[in-house]
Amino acid sequence: MTDDMKKRDTTVAEMVHEVRNPLTTVKGLLQLLKPYLVMIEKEQYADLAISEINRANELLTVYAHSNTAISSKQKLVCVNKVLEEMKLLFEREANVYRIQFFTHFNPDLPKVDVCRNEFKQVLVNLVKNAVESLMEVKDNRVRKITLETNNQGKRIQVLVKDNGSGMDQATLAQLFTPFYTEKSYGTGLGLSICKKLIEKHDGLITVESQQNVGTTFQITLPTPTDVD
């Protein structure tokens, strides 16, 4: 190992350690607050926040060991449950901007064999983009985000829809290109990573959009019976 590589590993390890310290503190405080949230029947918010901190810690572990091969553990995941978590995660921010969430879940949707954290990472990106699109809306329309699941036999379908600002065809053509972004912030990597993660699970992600009408992202994933 070269001196540069050793220096890089030391720097990464120090950064991961420093980030984990406040995460551990916040997690401890949430666990202390949870009994009070249970009393007012809001414990699901503490559970979700703690699970997000655990996910952040796992991502830090992967980043710290990015020079070695780490396999993402796949398991059967209830897609409807993960989408409900998305609604809870963004609910407060959505309320600030008068955004309403609507859900249309197939109750008989089969579970899918995915890495839960990676699948959740994709959905966080898509819902976050929907919220940001609706934040740009200046008229008096009812701002809506719809989360939907459908069973298509050997595959399941997940839809994330918004009636926000939408995109033109030029933007759509470049949307999954790494480092491409129309925003004044961000890296332009979010959607390209989403595409790689979905394709890694033998899935497909597509998008339809119209300016000032809205955007729909569609994910399709194979059910376990369709996996070799």
Reported as a single tens digit per residue, the pLDDT across 33-85 is 888 888 888 888 888 888 888 878 777 766 655 544 444 688 999 999 999 99
Tokens representing 150? 């459908």
Residue finishing a domain among 45, 64, 83: 64
Whole-prediction pTM: 0.70
**pLDDT tens-place values along the chain, 228 residues long:** 555 544 555 566 666 656 766 777 787 778 888 888 888 888 888 888 888 888 787 777 666 555 444 446 889 999 999 999 999 888 888 888 899 999 999 999 999 999 998 899 899 889 988 998 998 888 889 999 999 999 998 999 999 999 998 988 888 888 877 655 555 444 445 788 889 999 999 999 999 999 999 999 999 999 986 444
Whether residue 70 is contained in a domain is answered as no
Tell me: do 85 and 187 sit in the same domain: yes
Whether residue 114 is contained in a domain is answered as yes
Whether residue 69 is contained in a domain is answered as no
Tokens representing 27? 């997690």
Tell me: do 59 and 82 sit in the same domain: no
Phi and psi based region of residue 41 (left: phi greater than 0; alpha: psi -120 to 50; beta: remaining): left
Question: Which residues, at least 6 apart from 218, have a Cβ–Cβ distance to it below 8 Å?
Answer: 157, 158, 159, 205, 206, 207, 208
Instruction: Give the residue numbers spanning the domain of 16.
Output: 3-64
**How are beta strands 112-114 and 143-151 bridged, if at all?**
unpaired
Tell me: do 90 and 164 sit in the same domain: yes
